[in-house]
Chains A and B, each alone.
Chain A
Amino acid sequence: MYNFEFVKPSSIDEAVAALGEDEAQALGGGQTLIPTLKQRLARPARLVSLSGIAEMKGVGAEGGVLTIGGGTSHATVAAEAAGSYPALAALAGNIGDPAVRNRGTIGGSLANNDPSACYPAAALGSGATIVTNAREIAADDFFKGMFTTALEEGEIITAVRFPVPQAANYQKFEQPASRFALVGVFVARGGDGVRVAVTGASEEGVFRWSEAEAALASDFSTGAIEGLSVPADGMIADLHGSKAYRAHLVGVLTRRAVSAAS
């Protein structure tokens, strides 16, 4: 790993200032970034650790909205959101392994937008709001394709707000070696209808399956989506599964999620 300057600010304002320098890179839990740096795939001049910022940590529920600090670990979400948003807590509790969950953060995961990560499905499927140091971004406007988001250079995810739905469930078909989602589907039924968000499948990263959403809005049952399928075109193909296989899994996992949430 190349060397770098390391700073660990204790407030969001200090972190934003520290990220204003050329070639500065924010560091969340480092569970993706550190291996990336070790492979010399990136060479930031300065790492700005977000782990010392107390105002970016914690889980709070108020008025049907769950707010999670951007620097909150997966393990903390799994434990502290279990009462207020069980589907989200279960998702967080199945990311990676215990060591990854103890360091990895929700802000880091969303900012990275790995096409097979779990949190993007939860944020898009819940209709969450991504709160940064500068603005609020609806999840529908946040994910811009594989490893790409609406975040500007130096912008930090300080919190994520999840409207807690009436019912929700996440089904993950795990790639057993990496424990990322080969395909994952998050289904949420709330006052505004039904949202179905799919991760792991598309070359464009997480997406909403609008056809299934429309069918489920009038009839929230597995029967309503029995005949629906997503086109294999644009799906990821790798040694773990073909495009057609992933497209098939989207249907299967959506039905399982609906069944579990019904």
Chain B
Amino acid sequence: MIEAVKSRSRKRLITLTVNGEEHEIAIRPNAMLVDVVRDQIGLTGTKSGCSSGSCGACTLLIDGRPMLACSTLAVECDGKAIRTVEDLADGERLSPIQEAFLDQGAVQCGFCTPGMLMSVTALIASNPKPSHQEIKKALEGNLCRCTGYNAIFNAVLQATGQDGIKPIMF
């Protein structure tokens, strides 16, 4: 039994390409992607919110598609390309989506922001002029508990160069 437990928890090597950089990492099979990205690779932009697949704070891109890092085993991502919020800015220059979030006051506590930004990044990559309905649908899995949805929605409109931004009273 002890032998079985030992072999079960034995680490294995996986390769993750994170933000274009290849990492070879030793992990246990039950390691979650969010913990590997934050604690082993050291990129703490991705947040761990509910840790149960409900809030979307840990959303990052796996092979270009938004997925939940809290509900994805790191071992399942062996050989895959991961993109996190740290990759959006070019040095000190923010991406248009990040600029729009700043302009529209779409950040309060900031905990949901990395997940929101990654969901919007994936949306715009495949759909540069999303409709209002498509924006809402792309963000349906990202919860903001500061009630900042209108500002976030406005930020997506700004980032995609669209009309319809409604002023928000603070």
Residues of A within 8 A of B (CB): 1-6, 8, 27, 30-31, 34-35, 37-39, 45, 47, 49, 51, 75, 96-100, 102-103, 178-179
Contacts and interface: CB of A to CB of B under 8 A. Distances in A.
Interface stretch (B36-44, B60-68, B97-105, B157-165): B60-68
Given A97-B141, A100-B53, A30 B30 contact: no
Contacts of B72: 30, 34, 103
A1 B68 CA distance: 17
A102 B65 contact: yes
A31 B53 contact: yes
B119 A98 contact: yes
B8 A45 contact: yes
Contacts of B54: 178
A30 B122 contact: no
A240 B4 CA distance: 44
A17 B4 CA distance: 19
B10 to A, nearest CB: 9
A47 B52 contact: no
B122 to A, nearest CB: 7
24 contacts: A2-B30, A3-B5, A3-B29, A3-B30, A6-B75, A27-B73, A30-B73, A30-B76, A31-B71, A34-B72, A34-B73, A38-B51, A39-B52, A45-B8, A49-B76, A75-B65, A96-B141, A98-B137, A98-B140, A99-B59, A99-B66, A99-B68, A100-B141, A103-B67
Contacts of A1: 30, 32
B56 interface: yes
Contact of B71 (A4, A35, A49, A98): A35
B17 to A, nearest CB: 18
Given A98-B138, A179-B140, A3 B51 contact: no
A35 B9 contact: no
Contacts of A102: 62, 65-67
Query: What 4 pairs across the A-B complex have the smallest Cβ distances?
Result: A97-B141, A6-B29, A3-B9, A102-B65
B129 interface: no
A102 B59 CA distance: 12
Contacts of B141: 96-100
Interface in B96-124: 119, 122
Nearest to A93: B137
Interface string B47-89: 0000111101001001001111001110110000000000000
A97 B71 contact: no
A8 B74 CA distance: 13
A45 B94 CA distance: 46
Contacts of B28: 3
Nearest to A75: B65
B147 interface: no
B53 to A, nearest CB: 5
